[in-house]
Chain A
């Protein structure tokens, strides 16, 4: 048994034994948790990943005449300023107000530029009052010019994160990166055995051994503090998060980096390192966690719902090897087949190591001592939003108006005009979808003197199912530039159709 005070004494004298979490694994294997707890004083951890829930509180000081800033832009990126006159919060994931720049230069990029010492354009507007007569301000500032730049991140340092793959026939762009069609890659994130919360997690009690409110940490190359559990903190499911703060003025672009996840958004990569005081055997045991001990579910991001199906379960050791073999259902073969899929990390293990090494160096040099937490982390909560989803079954046009392939162009035209519709799904003898004909196709057939439905119908039909949310159907329509989506059941039979008109009626827009 040791105390943080005793460990700090040793750090100051230069006698402390400090290991990174990777090095600690071997020591615990050799000496056992009891021996390791006697031998080792501090274990340093590190993670370096995309942390969207990050941002910075800025205080710009008062202009003369003074202004109450209500709309505030830094290099074109809006910062929330519904606070006191010259306070603002700039979120990392905020896109640029210029649509042409959009996510290519957002909040995270402004934060990185500030840290790099670059000049940033500040433009703000407000309403005027007797005490704040100024309407507008436009100036150039650097990090040195602001009074405070305090990084306050509501959710950082995830204990773990599920990996992502894609069952769809098309490439998709997600916050887990670009996912190739038909399970062609698996993207994962997380430092695994180096992650701060993994190394502090008490698997029996489902709590954290040493990290609490007030724990002093390495944050973006500077010194920061844990100010509580992060949002969506869920220790019962080994899914802890942290809320952290630190002075942006002490940070470095080496450990704080802006990024753009293609066709998704901008985000901030931050290095976070937490020292774990090895107070006893229990703490030492937790620090011996290895990549292979941490289970990682692989989720199908091809399903755009909150609860994505688990395709397989693996661990960080397997993921870091570069490929994982999973079992998937092949609909052409009608059976389950094995597929070896390449894996790619979207966080940096190399940088995570650098964070843990840097923190170790600070402690060995005696520049960084440990703090005593003032309270443990809260229990947190990670439950779904209370929001109803409207599903396709709620707005479906029924019964479906369909036709067989052998009808003539004239008959198809008659059905469309009589029923006042624009889309005619074409079905086989069993009523299964095989194509679709639109009024535009009919017009084309007439213009080009085409006589058969099979020549004009679209065969690769974008379809929907009854339990698909209408938001997903709307995205399909805009992505493929179509205005009608047939709805099919499990056997491929057409049960109805959703059109752009149905969706616009729902939104209360005027029918065209």
Chain B
């Protein structure tokens, strides 16, 4: 299974290889979708894949060094405003937006990691991003 989370590393562990430790101890696969290092904490968006047990173990371990949160629904297409042009599609780093056969823009909301690239470039301001 796959699980996507927001993860904040506590200040005192910022310079420690926390993610490597979790991978080595639980053998879970981790894809770092985004990472921001700040003096007080570092923020990451992680995609964990493995068995249910592995993911549970990984989350327990991650909790020792920081806090995690499930990724909530972040983007929403405003159906009234969207003109289905497709300008947003290439700006999505995780292919959460695609254009179907009828040229309609479809959002796979569960895939979104909240980078906001799409909302920034949308000419019609038709994409609502819920703040983290």
Contact = CB atoms under 8 A, between A and B. Distances in A.
B35 interface: no
A262 B120 contact: yes
A201 interface: no
Nearest to A352: B103
Contact of B87 (A187, A350, A353): A187
B90 A50 contact: no
Contacts of B99: 322
A350 B106 CA distance: 13
A231 interface: no
Interface string B63-89: 000000000000000000101111111
A345 B124 CA distance: 14
B121 interface: yes
Interface residues of B, number: 19
Given A185-B90, A345-B85, A350-B84, A257 B103 contact: no
A48 to B, nearest CB: 7
A205 B94 CA distance: 48
A193 interface: no
A375 B112 CA distance: 54
Contact of B124 (A180, A257, A322): A257
A345 B83 contact: no
A244 to B, nearest CB: 19
A348 interface: yes
B83 A348 contact: yes
B91 interface: yes
B127 to A, nearest CB: 12
A360 to B, nearest CB: 17
Given A48-B83, A269-B83, A322-B99, A342 B90 contact: yes
B103 A350 contact: yes
Contacts of B123: 50, 177, 259-262, 267, 269, 346
Contacts of B131: none
A347 interface: yes
Among A48, A185, A343, A345, the most chain B Cβ lie within 10 Å of the Cβ of A345
B3 interface: no
Q: Across the A-B interface, give the 9 residue pairs with the lowest CB-CB distance, nearest first.
A: A259-B123, A350-B103, A350-B84, A342-B90, A348-B83, A345-B86, A348-B85, A185-B90, A349-B103
Given A262-B123, A322-B99, 14 more contacts: A177-B121, A177-B123, A178-B121, A180-B91, A184-B90, A259-B124, A260-B125, A262-B120, A342-B90, A344-B86, A346-B123, A348-B84, A349-B103, A350-B84
